[in-house]
Structure 1
């Protein structure tokens, strides 16, 4: 684990032994995979210090050197702060994980929209006296519930985007589907594209984007003709789990768009667990999301068991 502390607008990282010999440039490029433009800006604006002096970006570092990054300066939120009583699953100076309720978009889809989780996250920062851009790292559909990760500054956002792309951020979902699933576990590898005949619907399409969903049967409920499934994603396509399970012949209960029956007031899909490699400390942050809405959907199920 890497030792990190905050000093006002600066984040201090004690260079660990395995970084010895790295340069600041190689840490940004190789360790963090930071975007070139962002790296260049921080370099030009002298936003990186070594032992409280402007960094020499090409000089090898020593274990125990104090690497300071100017990360916490005031910025525009990027969205309109708007009050909502958020359920916080994890928070530090770099990350914020919220438990999204049903019926709420993750982020604004039009200028001025203020009733989304991103607006609520911005308000949460505002009441803490922080004015910094808030960025969702991934998103959930409007009626899907559970854990959503936000970055509290642009460098954390860039690092987490890369970790998501490289599948280092693990997302576990619970889905209640129609029918008795026959397979104990499996993987669906079907590309997903837009449905030309429906504005919001997606479909399996040979010309679509690659999409991979791993699933595992947890329990079947013969009386209700339902099955509880755990899903893990390698990709994050729009409606991915909904499309893949419908294609398999087991649409989500309550998901009328993809063939589910109206047995619940929304699609039975919940992002129950999020595992995040911290962008700076390297510890793994594990968040479990309790069921906030329509508890009858996952009645008797322990969200901390997954």
Structure 2
């Protein structure tokens, strides 16, 4: 990474400049431990060194050796976008994002390790937004430490706009905001519930696109203002419209064999090039029959009007 120092950054230390450009304190510590990783006008400097207008600051990011404990396994990946800094994947249902106890070789991490290996590349596995195993749709993967730092901060500050499509049981009101804190349900490590006394704040905006009386399902567009575990699933149950096929919150599999939830649209600024990016993934085939017809493209092929 190479930066030309502008007048407004004059007299900042190298560390202050890097922090203002998205580098985390942890990444800067790694750079300090790597010889010649930070150069000013071609010469190595300490992070306490002050910068002047017209200086060229060059940063060599720590080398990625991949995640050694992740076994590369061939997988059919739907890659929507790829550049030097990130990948956008349209994740299939039934695929966990991370390895876990008892499941080390059937995860997206294994597929990504194989995909990069086939191209002669390695990178640590860095999933930015979380999707449950049975949720389909768009997922961001950072390809190096700096893009991971910037994208993670964008998630924390709600700078990544995330819209979902869900099938919900019943006729959902035309639109609204669900403002209900979420906490663990009892002693469960997995299940969540609305809890106004001990829950963390959670807000979900929704808009109903259509309703099919034959299946008693509404197609609902949702935008997350926060990112709590199972937020959409818990919030829709809270307002009396749970997702069909949800093994935790509505285990009714007559219509679909998984929770009917899809990560539909992502909007954010490319972390390094600073260009606006927009992605969308069409409603998956297993959700379309819930509405008894070929849904008009106008319902889900344009940018969401939700906030």
TM-score bin, normalised by smaller chain: 0.7 to 0.9
Cα separation, 1, equivalents of 2:73 and 2:4: 37
**How far apart are residue 50 of structure 1 and its match?**
3.3
Shift of residue 284, structure 1, vs aligned partner: 1.9
Which residue is equivalent to 1:37?
26
**Contact 2:267 2:277 (C-alpha < 8 Å) held by counterparts:** yes
Q: Whole-Å Cα distance in 1 between the matches of residues 96 and 202 of structure 2?
A: 22
Instruction: State the TM-score, normalizing by the size of structure 2.
Output: 0.85
Q: Which moved more, 1:208-217 or 1:47-56?
A: 47-56
Matches within 5 A, 1:1-306: 11-14=1-4, 22-32=12-22, 34-45=23-34, 46-55=36-45, 57=47, 58-62=49-53, 65-71=55-61, 73-78=63-68, 79-110=70-101, 113-182=104-173, 184-196=174-186, 200-205=190-195, 206-259=197-250, 261-262=252-253, 263-294=255-286, 296-297=288-289, 299-300=294-295, 302=297, 303-306=300-303
Check the 8 A contact 1:51/1:66 in 2, yes or no.
Answer: yes
Is contact 1:74-1:130 (8 Å) kept? no
Instruction: Note the residue ranges of structure 1 that are not aligned, 5 or more in a row.
Output: 1-10
How far does residue 292 in structure 1 lie from its aligned partner after superposition? 4.5
Question: Which segments of structure 1 move beyond 4 Å, counting only runs of 4 or more?
Answer: 13-23
**Cα RMSD for the two superposed structures:** 2.5
Give the 3 Å change call, closer, same or farther, for CA 271–54 of structure 1 in structure 2. Answer: same
Secondary structure of residue in 2 paired with 1:125: helix
CA distance in 1, matches of 2:8, 2:91: 38
Length, aligned pairs only: 293
Question: 1:178·1:260 contact (CA, 8 Å) conserved in 2?
Answer: no
Q: CA deviation at 1:71?
A: 2.6
CA distance in 2, matches of 1:53, 1:187: 54
User: Aligned with 2:232: secondary structure?
Assistant: helix
Cα distance in structure 1, aligned partners of 2:170 and 2:231: 19
Alignment TM-score, normalising by the size of structure 1:
0.85
